[in-house]
Amino acid sequence: MPRKKQKLPLPPVAVLPEGAQQWLDQVVTGPMTAGAVEDVMRGIKKALIERALQAELSHHLGYAEGEDKPESSANQRNGTSGKTVLTDDGPLRIDIPRDRAGQFEPQLIGKHERRFTGFDDKIIAMYARGMSVREIQAFLLQMYNTEVSPDFISQVTEAVMDEVREWQSRPLEAVYPVVFFDALRVKIREDGVVRNKAVYLALGVRADGSRDVLGLWIEHTEGAKFWLKVFNDLKQRGCQDILIAVTDGLKGMADALAVAYPCSTLQTCIVHLLRNSLSYAGYKERQGLANALKPIYQAVSAEAAEAALADFADGEWGQRFPTVAAAWRRAWEEVIPFFAFPPEVRRVIYTTNAIESLNARVRKIIKTRGHFPTDEAATKLIWLALRNITDGWRGTMTCWKGAMNQFAILYGERFIPAVTK
């Protein structure tokens, strides 16, 4: 049954001051067109910005506009200078007040600032949804009659990297009961050549069942050295224990995990293994092969599972698809931990769908890009996509309460402090 979509809270609306109603009666004398309303709003925005700038100058000089200049002050007002700024409603011509000494530095709109609050957010929002620089240019020209250069858009989006670096170094929980690891492939230009690189994501499940993307890392090749760097990064940011790490046979992870988190359990995704097995069969044979494999991963213990695997290998389906039995045996060391867990925990670690669905949504956003010019450009867009996706996350993982109780029984002091903190 689909979940009811939760409504996000509406932004606060400023309370109109006394006397505003009289002003509105003067402005709105009858029905108005949408264009007329927009014109009035632009006029109000211009007046508010200019009044706020005058207030800033009054604070700087020490006396209000229209008052006599104090004898102790050598500085005074010196007219205004015109400046066109880009707002979320399009270009707006603003009169910026000046002082005679040239010391006034407005905070609302800085000296060399050409954009007002909201305009940058629109560009970043479009960029985060996968729109190319050319598409953003066309949209701004069509909607706001504003021409901007590719360098301007890059400058706006570049400011995001400070947030990315802050996010990538933020403190983490001390314990994560489950962390899912997965990768998606992107094309990135390096040394004049477009290469396929992997973007690795870690999705952690907190003790209360809520989810958290722990980080993203871009690498050309994976191996124990790379994964040790990832795990050391997590440890430096405060993650001292991972109870179960779930992955799809990423190279080198087992060795690195044994060094960084020696008490952690590495679990291969059963669904991935099953999908890979079915890829050896034709469409009409897949259901039969899936039914034949079911006794293996539904076994009550590792011994029963191993016996079921032997029966499969010796049976009809194993003889027809010997590569399937061989694939399960190769992954067996990372499969058998699954059978030690009760059903409540198995349901959580059975599949990496939690992170796969996240990757699928990211792919949908970045698919319009042929390739990225740099690792940083890829990181920037993927992080923005992740921010948009995770903003809509609510609640805990499915069936978490039952799993939470089992984690408390199985892991005791490794898990309980994370719940009671």
Tens digits of residue pLDDT in 363-417:
888 777 778 888 888 888 888 888 888 887 877 877 888 889 999 998 888 888 7
Per-residue pLDDT at 2 exceeds 50: no
| Calpha distance 95→108 (Å, rounded) | 13
The partner residues of 181 in beta bridges, in order of sequence, read: 202
| Calpha distance 209→405 (Å, rounded) | 11
* pLDDT category of residue 167 using cuts at 50, 70 and 90: very high
Per-residue pLDDT at 4 exceeds 50: no
| Calpha distance 271→180 (Å, rounded) | 13
In this structure, the number of other CB atoms found within 10 A of the CB of residue 413 comes to 7
Give the per-residue pLDDT at 216. 93
Token duo for residue 62 = 């020490």
Over residues 93-120, the mean pLDDT reads: 79
**What does 141-181 look like in DSSP terms, one character per residue?**
HHHH-----HHHHHHHHHTHHHHHHHHHTS---SEEEEEEE
Token duo for residue 136 = 């953003």
Highest mean pLDDT: which of 175-179, 189-193, 397-401?
175-179
Give the per-residue pLDDT at 118. 65
HEC string of 360-387?
Answer: HHHHHHHCCCCCECCHHHHHHHHHHHHH
Give the per-residue pLDDT at 3. 45
Give the per-residue pLDDT at 387. 87
Which long-range contacts link 112-118 to residues 24+ away (Cβ below 8 Å)?
Answer: 113/85, 114/83, 114/84, 114/85, 114/86, 115/85, 115/86, 115/87, 115/156, 116/49, 116/85, 116/86, 116/87, 116/88, 116/92, 117/88, 118/87, 118/88
* pLDDT category of residue 11 using cuts at 50, 70 and 90: low
Over residues 236-254, the mean pLDDT reads: 90
In this structure, the number of other CB atoms found within 10 A of the CB of residue 261 comes to 20
| Calpha distance 288→282 (Å, rounded) | 10
Lowest mean pLDDT among 185-199, 238-252, 254-268, 350-364: 350-364
